[in-house]
Amino acid sequence: MRVRHNVALTDANTLGFSALASRYVEVATLDEACQALALARRYCWPLTVLGGGSNVIMQHYLSGLVLRPVGQARWIEALDDKRALLHVEAGVPWHTLVVELAQAGWWGTENLALIPGCTGAAPIQNIGAYGVELADVLEAVHIVHLEDGRYEILTREACCFGYRDSIFKHALQDRVVIVRVVLRLEREPKPRLEYGGLSQRVPVKPIPIDIVDAICALRREKLPDPAVLGNVGSFFKNPVVAESLASRLYQSYPDMPIYPTVTGDAKLAAGWLIERCGFKGYREQHVGVHDRQALVLVHHGGGNARELLDLAERIKLAVYECFGVMLEPEPRVIGNEGH
């Protein structure tokens, strides 16, 4: 474990914003993570945990210590001939893992293909796509507490998962490091094909890799590659509103997509709301809104976090003024604007 100073993080965030870490360390094992946390406590350094940088808006300067888990180990724990637990260290790229599992014939994660970032960050956001959330396959999360280095294993229930939400955004926000994730896998075919026209893209009896390939094709048709055009995927959550408000909106906008929820509320399509306000394809100097998916804010190069955040605020205000619905960003803001 080596602490480096004044490390450029431009390539460590998928928006491609220029950023600098005062101190930076990569940890590959639990012991290294505990050592790094002890060092931060000893010198009272503020700590930022950074994964794949795919769900953060990185401002120019990150003081204290940036800790990046890079452990790549994963191993199978068989439960019987059809079920297993997969233990995955935090640094494993999520999409790489999904492809590996699909190729090996395991069911569970195939609908979550091509979601960027590392496995350790997946529980924070409770990543989801095409009718599946991480909570559907997660067994446990291994964490280390920043305050005292205490090691703990959280069950799925203890993670308090919700729509793009978890305990890691609330009671445990900025208080723990996720070092390992445990997933439940099955050999029994259980395809989920009811979302996004997926059933038309796969064979009658698909295997997991068929679904992965179809979802990758669908996502690439709609979403820009961060390596080509800086972005964090979906920038805003799809808002959940009272059924009464959804009904009133439907009277005025009968083409508005509205989805019922298990709680009796209604989920609206944030991209539709943004597009209806005229922002699809909009550009303002270095940042803008993608021309094929209004839910994706993009960085064309040469810009900074403040420009993107200002644009996001204008979009939120426009949507609220038009529909009375407040959008909530998915990515978190890290760092400071100045040195």
Contact 270, 315 (CB under 8 A): no
CA 16 → CA 94, 203, 262, 308, distances in Å? 20, 38, 38, 12
Q: With CA atoms as reference, report the closest residue to 83 among 214, 182, 209, 205.
A: 182
Pick the catalytic residue from 54, 110, 234, 276.
Answer: 234
DSSP secondary structure string, 10-45? GGGSTT----EEEEEEEE-SHHHHHHHHHHHHHHT-
Calculate the CA 173 to chain-centre distance: 15
| Nearest C-alpha neighbor of 99 from the set 233, 220, 228, 207 | 207
Contact 164, 249 (CB under 8 A): no
Nearest to 266 by CA among 236, 242, 238: 242
Residue of 68, 164, 219, 276 marked catalytic: 164
> Is residue 234 annotated as part of the catalytic site, yes or no?
yes
Query: Distance between CA 159 and CA 280 in Å, rounded?
Result: 35
Half-sphere exposure of 70 (CA within 13 A, CB side): 11
Q: Residue 286 corresponds to which amino acid?
A: H
Q: How many other CB atoms are found less than 10 A from the CB of residue 336? A: 13
**All residues at 6 or more sequence positions from 113 whose CB lies less than 8 Å from its CB, including other chains:** 95, 98, 99, 102, 129, 211, 212, 215, 216, 219
CB 133 within 8 A of CB 127: yes
Query: H/E element holding 145?
Result: strand 138-145
Tell me the CA distances in angstroms from 97 to 88, 104, 109, 116, 143, one per residue in order.
9, 11, 9, 11, 20
| Measured distance CA(133)–CA(126) in Å, rounded | 6
Q: Which residues are catalytic?
A: 164, 234, 330
